[in-house]
Amino acid sequence: MVGRPNVGKSTLLNNILGNKVSITSPKPQTTRFPIEAVYEDERGQLIFIDTPGLFKKANDRLAKIVNRRTTEALKGDYDMVMYVVDKTRHRSFEEGRVLGEIRKIKKPVILVINKDDMTGEDCTPEYVFMYDEVDAVHTVSALKRKHFKPLMERLFSYATRNYPIMNTSGMPTPSLNLTSRIYLQEIIREKIYLFTRQELPYKTGVKVDEIIERDNGVLYIHAIIFTTDVRYKKMLIGKDGYMITEIGRAARKEIETASNKKVYLDIIVEVDPNWQERLNE
């Protein structure tokens, strides 16, 4: 799954799977690394790879890392590409960057025009020229789960390898390529996107450094939010600790739902101008 930032790839994946596996927000650059997840029905399995949105220009270290991870994923082993565009956004130079990568691919490409539920200006005519360059075109609403059936039929028809149904032992699906630690970090990071504004989410990173199940069954999680400057730390903590409390409360509730356990989430905020180096850890 490829596309420029904020076209709805993660929402599309989550709603195809029927489970939340990739964090979402109205802000671009939410996804920072490829996330693999498995869809399964009576026809077999499909393995989806949700890649970060590609930027036209990577002006900072974070954007460069994100772009590199996506282009590396496109060099990997897969059967087809879902190229997702947003019908409510005009085509731009950024879209040209994505299209340039798509043109290098020697495998089937499915153009998915997303946000069919949105009213207002329809920029679909700006993407019509792509129809001759792809193998199929589907219009969907990722948010409203509209027109998924023909898209899924297309994906299964293009799959060149048969992955048999594996979920016969009661194991949960979808399965992910994320460790528990990274999954928890992503949940916390999503709440930072949700509760903060403007540039602050792009100045922060999250590291979960301790996960312990205590004797009473409570899951203790210690997490650090790194940010680049003292002023951002103050914004993350908020007046009388209000902001960090709201972030922690929302993250804890989601983790409890996902783990079916009581959770004690301990979050601290630290200043580290070089936190982006941690993306390579």
Pairing of strands 109-114, 35-41: unpaired
Q: Which domains does the chain have, with CATH numbers?
A: 9-158 (3.40.50.300), 180-280 (3.30.300.20)
Closest CA to 207 of 141, 280, 139: 280
Strand partners for 112? 84, 138
pLDDT at 19: 74
Name the pTM for this structure: 0.66
pLDDT at 190: 84
Strand partners for 46? 39
pLDDT at 270: 93
pLDDT at 176: 52
pLDDT at 173: 43
| Max Cα-Cα span within the chain | 61
Tell me the per-residue pLDDT of 222-234, one tens digit each, with 9 for 90 and over. Answer: 999 999 899 999 9
Closest CA to 273 of 46, 62, 85: 62
pLDDT at 170: 39
Strand partners for 224? 207, 268
> Residues of the chain whose pLDDT is less than 50?
167-174, 281
